[in-house]
Amino acid sequence: MLTPPERYQLVRRISGGGMGEVYLARWREGAIDKEVALKLLLPDLATAADPLERFMREARLAARMHHPNIVEVFDAGELHGRPFIAMQLVDGITLEQLLESIADPLPLPIVRLIATGLLEALDYAHTLSDERGELLRVVHRDVTPGNVLISRAGTVLLTDFGIAREGNVVRTAPGVLRGKPAFLSPEQLRQHPVDLRTDLFSAALCLYEAATLAHPFRRATPDETLAAIERDPAADPRVHRASLTEPMATALLRALEKDPRARFGSARAFRHAFIDGPVATSPELAALVSPHCRSVTQRSPAGAGTLSAPGRGRPNSGWLWWLAAALLSGGALALGLRWL
Ligand SMILES: Nc1ncnc2c1ncn2[C@@H]1O[C@H](COP(=O)(O)OP(=O)(O)OP(=O)(O)O)[C@@H](O)[C@H]1O
Ligand SMILES: [Mg+2]
């Protein structure tokens, strides 16, 4: 069996973020010769033994998931001293990119198709059992529009399962905030234990934004946004889009309840309540997204085929230091925090 450096040839960088980089890579091994998306975590994260071990455990769990609406994970390990995940390469865009590039809210049948894909992916993960039939209690913890991919063919795919972990630290010190916590649930912000209902809250925020292009808790500052997630009731989405149906609006508001017990008990129940009318087809979604897609091979020429050496290419080493400290102290491998 080949080692990871023998197995993967980095072709070009697709994207570089605060927590890692995504590369288009070629996987050559025996009869296999295919393009994959290779996510490399930053070198800082590779140095702490516990996060790496935790990362591998989560990657193994992610690799067990096989669902048409979940990005397939093929492999994970260490490449040039950095943890990596090799996954299905999706030629398309993220829901975040789509929402940023449109002026009018998405047609309701398209919103229903995105909701169907996202909630079926979550329901599959939440009900996944091990070989003995024991529920694995998988919780995604980082359901954001950036982690919902839409392929050029019009398929909705959820990614980054298990990468975000409990203990996501949002407040580094009183009043100091890091990351982009706008899609975290109130219980995540309070660092309380979470279960599948935390994903329903985050999914509802994604769907609220997809349906209205508005975020019910976004305020002038990150601090105020966090306070709003914890305290303010979400405004009825029909304030932003009067044509939204009553069942869709009611389902969103229920999934956005502060108390997890007041939300739906499953992604399936959420989907049944939310999907109240015609659902678009994949070709219809494909027609809508394709004008906004650039080929994955053309996205980010910077850093093509090369790895950032430790200490280079970090967007903001100050917050990465904070992050490394948070990982070491809280044992968290939290990739889901971004600035608002
Ligand atoms: N499997 C994939 N195939 C193709 N492109 C991908 C894939 N996964 C991620 N990308 C691209 O890489 C970008 C960065 O992904 P990454 O997961 O690092 O960041 P994010 O989703 O914005 O944030 P986070 O996952 O930390 O919340 C995505 O926005 C997407 O454009
Ligand atoms: Mg992601």
Which H/E stretch holds residue 22? strand 20-29
Look at residues 154, 152, 137, 157 and name the one whose alpha carbon lies nearest to residue 66.
157
Q: What are phi and psi of 260, to 5 degrees?
A: -55, -30
- Does residue 275 have a pLDDT over 80? yes
- Does residue 109 have a pLDDT over 80? yes
Say yes or no: CB of residue 151 within 6 Å of ligand 1: no
Active-site residue, 142 included: yes
Percentage of the chain beyond pLDDT 90 is: 64
Domain locations in the chain as residue ranges = 4-91+293-334, 93-286
Catalytic residue among 123, 142, 160, 199: 142
Residues 126, 143 contacting (CB under 8 angstroms)? no
The CATH number of the structural domain formed by 93-286 is: 1.10.510.10
Report DSSP state, residue 70. B
Say yes or no: CB of residue 206 within 6 Å of ligand 1: no
Proximal ligand: closest to the CA of 17:
1
Query: Regarding the domain delimited by 4-91+293-334, which CATH topology (the fold level of the hierarchy) does it fall under?
Result: Phosphorylase Kinase; domain 1 (3.30.200)
- Which pLDDT belongs to residue 66? 96
CA angle 198, 114, 283 (to 5 degrees): 160
Residues 36, 25 contacting (CB under 8 angstroms)? yes
Tens digits of residue pLDDT in 228-240: 999 999 999 999 9
- Does residue 126 have a pLDDT over 50? yes
- Which pLDDT belongs to residue 177? 38
Task: Kindly give the distance from the C-alpha atom of residue 335 to the centroid of ligand 2, in angstroms, as a whole number.
Answer: 8
Q: Average pLDDT of the chain?
A: 83
Quick one: the chain helix, strand, coil %, rounded to 5? 40, 20, 40
- Which pLDDT belongs to residue 49? 56
Q: What is the 3-state secondary structure (H, E, C) of 146-159?
A: HHEEEECCCCEEEC
- Which pLDDT belongs to residue 17? 64
- Residue-level length of the chain: 340
pTM: 0.84
Instruction: Say which residues have a Cβ less than 8 Å from residue 212's Cβ, sequence separation at least 6.
Output: 105, 237, 240, 241, 244
Which H/E stretch holds residue 270? helix 267-274
Q: Which of 22, 71, 333 to mutate to test the pocket of ligand 1 (most atoms within 8 A of CB)?
A: 22
Proximal ligand: closest to the CA of 41:
1
Q: Give residues whose Cβ lies within 5 Å of ion ligand 2.
A: 147, 160
Tens digits of residue pLDDT in 283-339: 999 999 999 987 665 554 444 444 443 332 333 333 333 333 333 333 333 333 333
- Nearest-atom number in ligand 1 for the CA of 19 is 26
Residues 229, 189 contacting (CB under 8 angstroms)? yes
Class of residue 219 by CB neighbours under 10 A (exposed 0-12, middle 13-18, buried 19+): middle
Residues 140, 125 contacting (CB under 8 angstroms)? yes
Percentage of the chain beyond pLDDT 70 is: 77
- Does residue 3 have a pLDDT over 90? no
- Which pLDDT belongs to residue 146? 93
- Which pLDDT belongs to residue 162? 66
Q: Would you state the structure tokens that stand for residue 61, as one six-digit string?
A: 């769990």
The Cα-based distances of 22 to 66, 179, 183, 237, 306 in angstroms read 21, 19, 22, 34, 12
Task: Kindly give the distance from the C-alpha atom of residue 147 to the centroid of ligand 2, in angstroms, as a whole number.
Answer: 4
State whether residue 177 is helix, strand or coil: strand
290-295 contact pairs (CB < 8 A, 24+): 290/152, 292/93, 292/97, 292/98, 292/101, 292/102, 293/91, 293/92, 293/93, 293/152, 295/91
Say yes or no: CB of residue 251 within 6 Å of ligand 1: no
Tens digits of residue pLDDT in 50-96: 667 777 877 888 899 999 999 999 999 988 888 899 999 999 999 99
Tens digits of residue pLDDT in 161-213: 866 543 343 444 444 334 458 999 999 999 999 999 999 999 999 999 999 99
Class of residue 112 by CB neighbours under 10 A (exposed 0-12, middle 13-18, buried 19+): buried
Say yes or no: CB of residue 10 within 6 Å of ligand 1: no
Task: Kindly give the distance from the C-alpha atom of residue 104 to the centroid of ligand 2, in angstroms, as a whole number.
Answer: 25
